[in-house]
Amino acid sequence: MDYKIHFAPLQGYTDAVYREAHSRIFGGVENYYTPFVRLEKEGFRNKELRDIAPEHNQDVPVIPQLIAATPDEFRRIAAFFQEKGYRQADINMGCPFPMQARLHRGAGILPYKEEAVALLDTIREFPEISFSLKLRLGWEQPDESLALLPFINSLPLAHVTLHPRIGLQQYKGTVDMDGFSRFYEACTLPLFYNGDLSSLEDIHSITDRFPSLKGVMLGRGLLSHPWLAAEYANGKTLSATEKQTRLAGFHRLLAEQYSLRLEGGDHQILAKLKTLWDYLLPDAEKRLRKKVIKSSNLTVYYSAVKELLS
């Protein structure tokens, strides 16, 4: 069975520059997702407009993601994606950020079945777009998603991705594999598992346990080990030297592209590059990682990265 790997959307990390560099240097990913696009009172935010602009997403299989509380918000964002030429879109019903959840967006809509049904039903107004859905087990209770599942099954969704935590957990505690199993048994749509996978063994243990999956979505595990999807897709591990070479190329490309696109000067470029290390190479030598994270200007930063990657 040929399981697919999707790269999870991670606000603040998997922007257009990152997605393109990852796809060029590592690959192994069937689909990338944009971090969620939302509507503010003032309309769309510039950062999001830039991130989904078609000219910044060429040659990468990207699915834009929307987060909305009402059919009206949904329509406006979906119409915007369509206008930009997208024919696929992902619906976020998993975000646990309280700022979004209290507006009944993301996982915050899951306890309100009628609202969730009305939101999802809006996909029928966009027959040209192939929608997918990403959700959690619930906001407060893990059976909120199960209550919605008969309706979800009736929709023409390309696939569903389930992260088996509840919203109140944020990213803490453990994933609820029994909860995932109940959803898996009753879901008739192509299903992806998402949550806490960071090695080939982790991926295999999920596909062994849930063989009917379409694939898995990797988030923080892929930010930490960017070669993981390629190793899985190609069925062979990369040597230490190969990883080192690709990482150096990946970092060079990111630095080059952020330098071109960020307008706030060296300070902003440095801050952006440093965020890579929130997750990247958690097992690297502590002293060298610290040097990278603590560097106070770009010259010091580049020399610290060179030392770490050599």
Ligand X SMILES: Cc1cc2nc3c(=O)[nH]c(=O)nc-3n(C[C@H](O)[C@H](O)[C@H](O)COP(=O)(O)O)c2cc1C
The nearest distance, CB 176 to ligand X, in angstroms, is 13
Q: Which residues bind ligand X (CB under 6 A)?
A: 8-12, 35-36, 65, 92, 94-95, 134, 163, 171, 194-197, 218-221
Pairing of strands 31-33, 215-218: unpaired
Residue nearest to ligand X (CB): 219
Eight-state DSSP code of residue 71: H
Of 172 and 286, the one with the shorter C-beta distance to ligand X is 172
Best CA proximity match to 135, nearest among 102, 99, 179: 179
CA dihedral 103, 109, 115, 118 (to 10 degrees): 110
The nearest distance, CB 216 to ligand X, in angstroms, is 8
The nearest distance, CB 287 to ligand X, in angstroms, is 26
The nearest distance, CB 175 to ligand X, in angstroms, is 8
Of 74 and 304, the one with the shorter C-beta distance to ligand X is 74
Contact 80, 44 (CB under 8 A): yes
> Order of strands across the sheet with 31-33?
62-63, 31-33, 4-7, 215-218, 191-194, 160-166, 130-138, 88-93, 65-66
The nearest distance, CB 101 to ligand X, in angstroms, is 12
What DSSP string describes 14-68?
S-HHHHHHHHHHT---SEEEPPPB--BTTBS-HHHHHHH-GGGSTTS-EE-EE--
Of 116 and 197, the one with the shorter C-beta distance to ligand X is 197
Of 219 and 226, the one with the shorter C-beta distance to ligand X is 219
The nearest distance, CB 299 to ligand X, in angstroms, is 29
Q: How many residues does the chain have?
A: 310
Of 94 and 179, the one with the shorter C-beta distance to ligand X is 94
Of 167 and 304, the one with the shorter C-beta distance to ligand X is 167
